[in-house]
Amino acid sequence: MADLHLDRIYIRDLLVRCVIGASEEERREKQDINVNITLHADLRTAAKTDCLEDTVDYAEVKKKIVAMVEQSSFHLVEALADRVADVCLEDPRVYRAVVSVAKPGALRFARTVEIEITRDRLDT
């Protein structure tokens, strides 16, 4: 589907906790992670029908992401972001997921380190 016809749903500043990091020290306890998600979908039908069944249920997507992240353990934020994108693309109405994952305090003198990935349905 061409980008021209895709609308966007934004989930901003989703705060989750998980074991993440490469060092032994980082892996001792869950850390705070900030996730931002953009779901690309065609929302025209939902706009016309005003029915939840015709759109991406972003509350359900959020629940699945939180459950996955809170039970996970990753060495890299890249791997975490990729798995979040996979969860987003489980909904057949989502054609593209843009996911950024921020790890506050990862670098001394920096507020956060953040990566962003884009995954399309065709990539899965």
**In 3-state terms, what secondary structure has residue 25?**
coil
Q: How many domains does the chain have?
A: 1
pLDDT tens by residue, the chain, 124 residues: 445 689 999 999 999 999 988 888 878 888 999 999 999 999 999 999 999 999 999 999 999 999 999 999 999 999 999 999 999 999 999 999 999 999 998 778 888 899 999 999 875 5
Q: In the chain, what are the helix, strand and coil shares in percent, each to the nearest 5?
A: 30, 40, 30
* Residue of 30, 48, 63, 103 marked catalytic: 103
Residue 30 annotated among the catalytic residues of the structure: no
Question: Which residue range is the domain that position 55 belongs to?
Answer: 3-123
Give yes or no for a contact between 56 and 44, defined as CB atoms under 8 angstroms apart.
no
Q: What is the CATH number of the domain that holds 9?
A: 3.30.1130.10
Q: What does pTM read for this prediction?
A: 0.90
